Structure 1
Amino acid sequence: MTTALHEIAVRQIKGVSAQKEQELHAFGIQTVADLLDYFPFRYEDYRVRDLAEVKDGEKATVQGKIMSTPSLQRYGRGKSRLSCRVAVDHMLLTAVWFNRNFLQSQLTPGREITITGKWDQNRRQVTVTDSEFPDKGTAKTGTLQPVYSVGGAITQSWMRKTIKQALEQYGSMIPEVLPYVLTSKYQLIPRREAVMRMHLPGDAVEGQAARRRMVYEELFLFQLKLHAFRAQTRGKADGVTHTTDNETIRSFVKGLPFELTESQKKVINEIMYDMRQPYSMNRLLQGDVGSGKTVVAAVALYAAVKSGHQGALMVPTEILAEQHGRTLDKLFSPYGIQIALLTGSLGERRRREILAGLQMGLIDIVVGTHALIQEDVFFRSLGLVVTDEQHRFGVNQRSILRRKGMNPDVLTMTATPIPRTLAITAFGDMDVSTIKERPQGRKPIKTYWVKHEMLDRVLGFIRREVGEGRQAYVICPLIEESDKLDVQNAIDLHIQLQQAFPDLKVGLLHGRLPASEKEEVMRLFSEAETHVLIATTVIEVGVDVPNATLMIIMDAERFGLSQLHQLRGRVGRGGHQSFCVLVADPKSETGRERMQVMTETDDGFEVARRDLELRGPGDFFGTKQSGLPEFKVADMAADFAVLETARDDAAEMVTQPDFWERPDYTALHQYLMREQIFQGELLD
């Protein structure tokens, strides 16, 4: 939209008081433009239907004639049930209203009535939610009514009335933002008409045409923003140019205690090519759990240090930081590379030593949690930033770490395989590298789903694996008992398993333990002094114990698919056959589908695709700080084809030499200026 509607306060709409204006602000609605773009998330269907086409339990609108005197029953405190017989077509049905006794006098036999409600086929009854009398003039009958996300003092009817008023006052000012070349190519209706029809669809066809237009616009503008930003930053030769040659890298790789897969070698080549360029690398490295991303990051960090710079690896938990610290120390100690660990639980003296070492360049690589982004952390020459499980960090946290160097290269890693659908939206400004193979010698994990009554057999399974010298994880959703959730909790289960296995060492790990205790619990498990580890999802990411071959997940239906797959990936990291047992009694269809997906495939990309279908993109990462765009109309899964088209259109448009000069693109230029893509801080 042009600046005009963005500059008109929502208070200027008739009927919006100062108090209502404040309440609208809570919904992110400041201006008329914001209100007009506040689209309904669904529609109530008040179009009259033939009852023969209505399924049992469905909501429908029907017209008929009242055939009996209404009957009123009172029960409880202020509760009532009002009913009468209504003839609809050739059928006599019962219409029932709850707590609407004021309607009794209006329900006169012989009067025409339109009722909307849930149809009970067996009882031939409609439980009425809305009713109207044609002799009074109908307001809703025959229409699709918008349903908005409302709350507090903002009611559905007030929102409908206010948006209708805004359209009357300012509808003529809604400008076109897409150029004619696109609206004609895809036969999209004008923006003004689309906005009107999104709020007031005359019928389903008009509503679909409006949605089609707004979905394309929303996805195209988002992609345009990404590609314009990329075009602006890609040309800037102000990044770190790493100079480490191929022979040095080959020598390091030959010294590794294992052979790299072809997939790992390909990804390393892509990363090294970027690191040698004069612009700042921004690459996403994705690979399934246990695919060997850490060693790829190690090669990149080695290259940065050999080029005379420092590296930083930021991870979401202290357990993971400690593990990565040990791994890198083992790999780098023969080369004299200095590694330091910076976490929130460090003593003040050690912390000061590390900060001084980083500033003077005595420390080559620092591994840490969000402690890395505190104000007093300075580097002599930060050349490479690696973030692991990046969706655990907010966009701001990642960009703060980046700003601690002069446009350092950035490598972002995730073991949540991202379907292309999300990769080209959330990470549209990044190059994506994917590790597709498992390291040699890794066997697929066998996954089973059992009900709670089979727990004795599961315990027998644990004893069998431990008897063969292996170890087991048992995962619970909660730490302590909760009145709200009837779930197995870690502390209770720890006591139960200690009693079930008096001859075994059973450990307990959860997020509320002090850091020193967590480290000790993990050390005992890593060194096989603990046979069974009861844990919450604190072990979900990155913990590596090759001797652990059995993963038991209690109340598995309470976890998302991607989280289940992450947990499963804690086993299968050695040469022995590994197993994952899901203990679940899912009540919902979605819960049962999750269990089926987990037993059908151990391919993380397939799991991610199915997770996206089941949960939708908004919940995919289980965090609001994922950097995922929240679209108003578009759905990344359902509208994937449009998304790809919009991306291609945007990429082509910004590469046109005259893009910034052409007058028919003026509205797009204004949009990009408003979105501040030229300030360099828009995207992480």
Structure 2
Amino acid sequence: MLNLEEIPLRQIKGVSAAKEQELHAFGIHAVADLLNYYPFRYEDYRLRELKDVKDGEKITVRGIIRGLPMLSRFGRGKVRLTSKVEVDHQLVTAVWFNRAFLKDQLTLGREITLTGKWEQHRMQITVSDSEFLDKGPAKTGTLQPVYSVGGGITQVYMRKTIRQALLQYGAMIRENLPPRLVDKYRLMPKSEAVLHIHQPQDTKNGAAARRRLVYEELFLFQLKLQAYRMQSRSRMDGVAHRVDGETIRQFAATLPFELTDSQKKVVNEILTDMRQPYCMNRLLQGDVGAGKTVVAAIALYAAVKAGHQGALMVPTEILAEQHLRSLGKLFAETGIEVALLTGSLTDRKRRDLLASLQMGLIDIVVGTHALIQEDVFFRSLGLVVTDEQHRFGVNQRSVLRRKGQNPDVLTMTATPIPRTLAITAFGDMDVSTLRERPRGRVPIKTYWVKHTMMDRVLGFIRRETDEGRQAYIICPLIEESDKLDVQNALDLHVQMSQAFPDLRVGLLHGRLNAAEKDEVMRAFGAGEIHLLVATTVVEVGVDVPNATLMIIMDAERFGLSQLHQLRGRVGRAGHQSYCVLVADPKSETGRERMNVMVETDDGFEVARRDLELRGPGDFFGTKQSGLPEFKLADMASDFAVLEAARDDAADLTAEPDFWHSPDYEELRRLLRQDQIFQGDLLD
């Protein structure tokens, strides 16, 4: 029996070759894709009485035409058509714009339904949709689905095509949830849920269909994570790092600072995992400046001392170079060889480095995406660390893993995630959290000012630089835009150079080549640049302890977590540091973001508020994070369902029957389709 995933769209009555190609642009390639293309809202065509409708509301009413239609012209080629219609024993004026063709159809005594905006004071309906009751089946009395459409695919065509697909193939929709879960939550059967999400009988019926499909979507997502975790743990073919605690304690004693209690706890969690024969898969999250790099360094040190190599993958060359310098200092007395692999290496240097890496002459390599290229080989890769893990796709991270014999994996993020959400969203990972800040860190003071106060901001820059400190000033754009009236880095660099002729003003943005960026950051780090005008290329990892002032222009253009990351570029030593947000937000959300930044510098609280304001898709950077863009589910509002689905998936994958019983063949088939299971045995 064919699966719906295997039946091409052309098999649906009314789908031509041209329309099939247009549907492909929406990610719809087979009948299954079409049936899973859910509406994002519904148009309500259910009849209401005038007395129940408030002024300005949308309404659908049934009436009888009582006045001859009148056509008038206005503007350039625009027409206005009006007619008197009896509705609920009252005469109302129905108004159509640019529908001249209806004039001859509006005959006296004919029954009609009108949908549109009700204007109480005028007794008028501005009609957006109308139907004659003598023309057969009508939308009236229904909830009509609204889909994301465009190009040659209209709402009418999408509705008609999905309706036809349900007629032809609705009976082939398989139940994929175990009966016990359907019974446990009293869920609607799968075939009914798909039918009623597209054609709800009423709001209650539509809500029940959504509830079923949201649970299924989240359960299948969690099933992949839990199955992957179960298989990783059961294989016992990872790297068991044999390193004793005393060796680690001796190394920790050489560090220029004492570890916080939080760092010690997290290091113990990581080392306990690394000593096991299964693959560690751990997420290390911590606020800006919480000391994640030192924890990663200790883990890398342990891997090398156990006779293996380590890799640290970061999203930008600036960050890679900074990590190289940081690790170089930490490992200065250990004899550990650390190297840098980025796209800007010359061919000769790259060849030499790759040869040294393959022979084991290099212990730890720090790099960008260059690390996952095909010609990169290790002698014995034992630990993979990825920094700012949400910047890399799951596939990129898995390619790096495959360069060793199932190495341990530590992923780090400075975008704190509410713990319960982290455990649920990253269900295949164990989660370690750094809450404390290193001793001596002074909280950053944050201010929100309007553009009219720029003179005071310039005075602030002067005060800090006179005391020997340095400052950042961040812009949302590199150069002027004819679409956005916001500050740009090129113009601001000129303005700041004129405002402070005695200071050296630097410029850093994404269009500079690697050597130019490196020179700017070297000069800023050495104190040769006093004021650095930049875009968000400095968002993560850039560490200049002498910088005490962060000014963010048009701050309402940035998300909360991005603002918090930028703020974290200062306050990295014992000096009092400041963040100044220059913004005139027009939206309530923009003002709320500014208030959150002023009220707290706790990254976990910022993350919680960010999740509330933006929702989880933007919060995680969905397109890069490996988190799916859910069709129906929302990780914030459906969080309770997500937790239940996680527990159900964990329980199911822990049962031996799941991996062998015919009862779960459909679920195993869905897992086999997933890229991370291809090549892995599921039986």
Task: Confirm or deny: 8 A CA contact 1:228 1:677 kept in the other structure.
Answer: no
> What SS class does the counterpart of residue 556 from structure 2 fall into?
helix
1:396 equivalent in structure 2? 395
1:220 equivalent in structure 2? 219
Q: How much does 1:148 deviate?
A: 1.4
Q: List aligned pairs for 1:263-412, cutoff 5 A.
A: 263-412=262-411
1:32 equivalent in structure 2? 31
Task: Confirm or deny: 8 A CA contact 1:494 1:534 kept in the other structure.
Answer: yes
Q: 1:71 to 1:594 in 2, by over 3 A?
A: farther
Q: Which amino acid aligns with 2:348?
A: R
Q: 1:80 to 1:519 in 2, by over 3 A?
A: same
Q: How much does 1:208 deviate?
A: 0.5
Q: List aligned pairs for 1:54-69, cutoff 5 A.
A: 54-66=53-65, 68-69=67-68
Q: How much does 1:304 deviate?
A: 0.8
Q: Does 1:659 align with 2:663?
A: no
The CA deviation string for residues 17-70 of structure 1, in whole angstroms up to 9 with x for no partner, is: 222222222322222222211211111111223445545544332344545443
> What SS class does the counterpart of residue 172 from structure 1 fall into?
helix
Task: Confirm or deny: 8 A CA contact 1:426 1:629 kept in the other structure.
Answer: no
Q: How much does 1:583 deviate?
A: 1.2
Q: How much does 1:528 deviate?
A: 2.0
Q: 1:119 to 1:540 in 2, by over 3 A?
A: farther
Q: How much does 1:3 deviate?
A: 5.1
**Structure 1 CA distance for aligned equivalents of residues 609 and 555 of structure 2:** 17
Task: Confirm or deny: 8 A CA contact 1:171 1:192 kept in the other structure.
Answer: yes
> What SS class does the counterpart of residue 235 from structure 2 fall into?
coil
Task: Confirm or deny: 8 A CA contact 2:479 2:489 kept in the other structure.
Answer: yes
Q: 1:521 to 1:597 in 2, by over 3 A?
A: same
Q: Which amino acid aligns with 2:234?
A: G
**Structure 2 CA distance for aligned equivalents of residues 676 and 469 of structure 1:** 54
2:496 equivalent in structure 1? 497
Q: 1:417 to 1:377 in 2, by over 3 A?
A: same
2:604 equivalent in structure 1? 605
> What SS class does the counterpart of residue 624 from structure 2 fall into?
coil
Q: How much does 1:387 deviate?
A: 0.8
Q: 1:55 to 1:341 in 2, by over 3 A?
A: farther
Q: 1:677 to 1:453 in 2, by over 3 A?
A: closer
2:21 equivalent in structure 1? 22
Q: Which amino acid aligns with 1:433?
A: S
**Structure 2 CA distance for aligned equivalents of residues 595 and 478 of structure 1:** 19
**Structure 2 CA distance for aligned equivalents of residues 661 and 381 of structure 1:** 35
Query: TM (normalized to structure 2)?
Result: 0.95
**Structure 2 CA distance for aligned equivalents of residues 255 and 102 of structure 1:** 86
Q: 1:122 to 1:448 in 2, by over 3 A?
A: farther
Task: Confirm or deny: 8 A CA contact 2:672 2:678 kept in the other structure.
Answer: no
1:210 equivalent in structure 2? 209
Task: Confirm or deny: 8 A CA contact 2:96 2:128 kept in the other structure.
Answer: yes
Q: Does 1:514 align with 2:513?
A: yes
> What SS class does the counterpart of residue 72 from structure 1 fall into?
strand
Q: How much does 1:221 deviate?
A: 1.5
**Structure 2 CA distance for aligned equivalents of residues 573 and 676 of structure 1:** 41
The CA deviation string for residues 519-570 of structure 1, in whole angstroms up to 9 with x for no partner, is: 1211222122222111000000011112212111111111111111111111
Q: Which amino acid aligns with 2:403?
A: K
Q: List aligned pairs for 1:522-537, cutoff 5 A.
A: 522-537=521-536
2:594 equivalent in structure 1? 595
Q: How much does 1:480 deviate?
A: 0.8
Q: Percent identity at matched positions?
A: 77
1:467 equivalent in structure 2? 466
Task: Confirm or deny: 8 A CA contact 2:5 2:30 kept in the other structure.
Answer: yes
**Structure 1 CA distance for aligned equivalents of residues 529 and 123 of structure 2:** 64
Q: 1:92 to 1:456 in 2, by over 3 A?
A: farther
Q: 1:532 to 1:370 in 2, by over 3 A?
A: same
**Structure 1 CA distance for aligned equivalents of residues 458 and 119 of structure 2:** 47
Q: 1:345 to 1:662 in 2, by over 3 A?
A: closer
The CA deviation string for residues 354-376 of structure 1, in whole angstroms up to 9 with x for no partner, is: 22221221111111111222222
> What SS class does the counterpart of residue 525 from structure 1 fall into?
helix
Q: Which amino acid aligns with 2:590?
A: G
2:231 equivalent in structure 1? 232
Task: Confirm or deny: 8 A CA contact 1:232 1:678 kept in the other structure.
Answer: no
Of residues 412-421 and 662-671 in structure 1, the stretch that sits farther from structure 2 once superposed is 662-671
Q: 1:663 to 1:345 in 2, by over 3 A?
A: closer
1:672 equivalent in structure 2? 671
The CA deviation string for residues 132-153 of structure 1, in whole angstroms up to 9 with x for no partner, is: 2334456111111011122222
Q: Which amino acid aligns with 2:606?
A: V
Task: Confirm or deny: 8 A CA contact 2:390 2:621 kept in the other structure.
Answer: no
Q: List aligned pairs for 1:91-240, cutoff 5 A.
A: 93-108=92-107, 111-120=110-119, 125-137=124-136, 139-240=138-239
Q: Does 1:432 align with 2:440?
A: no
**Structure 1 CA distance for aligned equivalents of residues 90 and 530 of structure 2:** 69
Q: How much does 1:102 deviate?
A: 1.3
2:573 equivalent in structure 1? 574
**Structure 1 CA distance for aligned equivalents of residues 676 and 456 of structure 2:** 59
**Which 5+ residue runs of structure 1 have no aligned equivalent?**
none
Q: How much does 1:104 deviate?
A: 2.2
> What SS class does the counterpart of residue 620 from structure 1 fall into?
helix
Of residues 17-26 and 57-66 in structure 1, the stretch that sits farther from structure 2 once superposed is 57-66
Q: 1:13 to 1:72 in 2, by over 3 A?
A: same
Q: Which amino acid aligns with 1:142?
A: G
**Which 5+ residue runs of structure 2 have no aligned equivalent?**
none
Q: Which amino acid aligns with 2:453?
A: M
Q: 1:605 to 1:59 in 2, by over 3 A?
A: farther
The CA deviation string for residues 266-293 of structure 1, in whole angstroms up to 9 with x for no partner, is: 1101110111111111111111111110
Of residues 262-271 and 504-513 in structure 1, the stretch that sits farther from structure 2 once superposed is 504-513
Of residues 387-396 and 325-334 in structure 1, the stretch that sits farther from structure 2 once superposed is 387-396
Q: 1:453 to 1:123 in 2, by over 3 A?
A: farther
Q: What is the Cα-based RMSD across aligned positions, in Å?
A: 2.2
Of residues 191-200 and 543-552 in structure 1, the stretch that sits farther from structure 2 once superposed is 543-552
The CA deviation string for residues 580-601 of structure 1, in whole angstroms up to 9 with x for no partner, is: 1111122222222222222222
Task: Confirm or deny: 8 A CA contact 2:66 2:86 kept in the other structure.
Answer: yes
Aligned length: 682
